[in-house]
Structure 1
Amino acid sequence: MAAAGRVRSADQFLCSICLDVFTDPVTIPCGHNFCKSCITEHWDNNDNYQCPKCKKAFYPRPELYVNTFISEMVAQFRHEAQHEPNIYSSEQQAAKPREVPCDVCTGTKLKALKSCLVCLTSYCQTHLEPHLTLSRLKQHQLIHPVENLEDRMCRKHDKPLELICKTDHTCICVLCPVVDHKNHEFVPLKDEYEERKAELKKTEAEIQQMIQERRLKIQEIQRSVELSKNAADRKTAEGVKVYTALMNQFKEEIQEKQRSTETQAKGFINELEQEICELEKRSTEVEQLSVCEDHLHFVQRFTCVKAAPSMKTWTKVSVHPPSYEGTVERAVSELKDKLTEDTKKVVVKAELKRVQQYEVDVTLDPDTAHPNLILSDDGKQVHTGDVKKKLPHKRQRFTDCCSILAKQSFFSGRFYFEVQVKGKTDWDLGVVRKSIKRKGQITASPQYGHWTIWLRNGNEYEACAGPGVRLSVQSGLQKVGVFVDYEEGLVSFYDIDSSVLIYSFTGCRFNDKLLPYFGPCPNYRGKNSAPLIITPIDTKKLIKWTDFL
């Protein structure tokens, strides 16, 4: 209550012209009080002498005398304010750094509550009171406190910037459209504010999305680094394993030569020691015979002792240390070949995993099937039967070759599919142009729109490159992957189980739609009865190809 009383007392000592505490207060004839300098300047700038509050006119101009009673009350009020700095602390606070201060406060600047765009002044709660009570000040536009109010005024017309010229993208006052922005498009700042605020929400959403995308990218990069580290650790372990194996092999080869040398030497030594024993025995007999005086015994034993035993001539016998020349070089060469082979496998395996990302769903087209072919209901398997079916004549059907095409065709991009060939002795696989020959004898080569490989007689693999290219394929090939890059002109075939590249057609010119091609070949009395099966990629084995980098 005391604080409230002080605030009301302070209101009584405010000049309604300067809105500050009275300085040399004077009372004019109507009874209203003003600062002497304020009312004097007000009357000096006007042709009549009216009270600024009640508008009552005076003539002649009244003499002004300081109201000693009010002056003493103001002096007392100022004294109390100086000795009680927290007089407004219950409702107001001193302006802190980066807060807008009241422009009217003397001494300690209080925090501004509002800024007036007409007065171009910021007010604390106390000095804002006239704008809330006086009718002529209530019409002023109040906003949240801001600094540099002069920047909100038109420098040319000294009016508030209340419009925006959409032609020049400039804030203007209400007088600017008359001359400077004539025939321009302009709208109130409030309307532009609402429109821009809606755009700002959209911008904020876009920014948040971009932030999220970048956070996800950071996670992706961190994951790539983690995968790279795992791959590095794995390859380091594999390299150590290879080096260890080759080092053990290298040591074993040297040790084997050393063991062979030691065995030979040990045999020679044993044989020499036996001969030494025999010679020592003979030496003893000779020594005993030399002291014998029995003539008969001497003559009889002399012939036996003199006869030399059958012994080896050791002059040319020797143990030669084994040669280790070339051992290190051979080990390094083997290591190089091993690393080259392993690197090639890793590269091909990574390449296979990469192209498997382009897998497409392929199904067989019965309208293209040779009459001897038998298809599964799901269009994923085909094998050759013994009976030739009577089928309606179709332009797209194969009539002489046991072949069939897929329903899907491709005119651009990349695609990949896998086919199981397990148990077959003969087959054809690849891609062909849509416009290939379907009737009569067919020549399979790129010249005639075929990019295929085949198997014959269970172990003869060939790329139909015109002329054919014999292929080196590991026995037991069970599944073939086919990859096509239309723009690159590339058709590649992979051994899926071994992750080995079988063959690639490069520099191809397709110039037409491409269709997957399947040739189960004749049954050969059951020897080649296994079907060709279009299989999906084994997702359990499908890992990111970056794991191999």
Structure 2
Amino acid sequence: MGSKYYVLLRDQVGLKNISRKAMASAIFIKKLREEATCPICLELMTEPVSIDCGHSYCHQCIVGFTGNQSSDTSSPGTFHCPQCCKPFQSGSLRPNKQLRSMIQTFKEMNQSMCNEHGEQLHLFCENDGQLLCWCCERSPQHKGHFTATVEDACPGYQEKLQKAVTKLKFKESIYMQLKLDTTQKISSWEKKIKHEEERIHSEFTNLHTFLHQEEEFYMHRLEKEKEQKLSRLQDNVAYMDNKVEELKNGILELDKKCQCSARNFLQGIKDTLSRVSAINLETPEDVSLELHTVHSVSELQLSVRKILKCHQVNVSPDPDTRNQKLLIRLNEEKTTIYPRYLMESQTSERWNDIICMQGHERFTSGRHYFEVEMGAGAEGAVGVCLENAPRDIDIVREPQSGFWAIRQRKGKGCSALTFPPTFIPLRNQPEVIGIFLDCEAGIISFYNATLGSHIYTFTKASFSHALRPYFEAYSCFSLLQTS
């Protein structure tokens, strides 16, 4: 009984002695820190310098202080100490090497000292992954935990760290190869696109104006496909750059960790290993270089009318918009429009005093083609106009007013309704006029549908509202229907 009491008493005395030593160390560290703290920024001094009165500051802090203060008017370049207000010259700053050495020693000592007890951190707790002093080991927080000296714990974790570095380097090599492969894919894709562009351009340049429009249409789709896949490939490169950077940062962090002292090496070692192990190898989605926008011009029928008919739609006149002098006659093959005086009440949508009307169809997107049979010597105008185009008699029919049309008049030939009108020299007056509309490209083209020859094209048109077919009938003409 006496022996157990003696051991217990001895341990209690030992703990008290340790506590006194820890308290004394903590007080010493506190005083040392106060001496090394800059009175301006309240942090450990960086490049400490002393002034004439003997007080010391960070070099940057005292320089900033003098820059923000006005010097003594009686003695230019003279300032007053922030602590004791004694004067000093701005050019008299002296590096305090002794204080700088003390601060460095304090930093090194502080890293190896327990913040709570002021004792050396020469133990490592395997359970919590923390550096401990003797006081920490005997505390209830670490009771029953497995501890080892720093020297004994280091080799095992160094081996684990080396394995982690090996894994990261392996992952880095995979990403570097993936990046190289993707870069080569980008180069191959760009060459493939360039080759397809040259092939399409070469074949289309020898064809009619409409074929040139077809070229532009497919080039637009090809460019869009190119940008979409390039964007995905470049996103993959950016993703892999980020992964490579993440891996390099992890490797640098581990290399730096390996160069630390044993205590610094083990400080936060588990967190470091956990963080770098969390960098997963995630291969980005593969992007196929299969080209979807393909077009063989040689397979096209060289008859322009057959090509145009791929986009042909049926159009019909809108009775609510016709002038009272127009009559409409319907049959299975065509709709005939001809002038005739009719006693009808007018609606707000009718055209005033001009023998014209709109078609019933509305075009807002895509490509459309329709045909109007004018007949030999026929007079009138055909084309498209904005749905809300002005209907007054004194409005000039031109693109600025929302009209894109051509007009035939006896003795005056054919002209495009521009301002002023554009005369169109034609060898033969077309009996069937084809009107082709590309809403996205802003193009309205007119063709001699019988011969397949081009008449006129309005380009770079801008449509603020839906488009509708437009007709002026000074003589009989018909709207041809698809079979």
Q: Same fold (TM over 0.5)?
A: no
| TM-score computed with the length of structure 2 as normaliser | 0.36
Q: What TM-score do you get using the length of structure 1 for normalisation? A: 0.32
Query: Which structure is higher in RCO with an 8 Å CA cutoff and minimum separation 6?
Result: 2
Q: Which has the larger radius of gyration?
A: 1
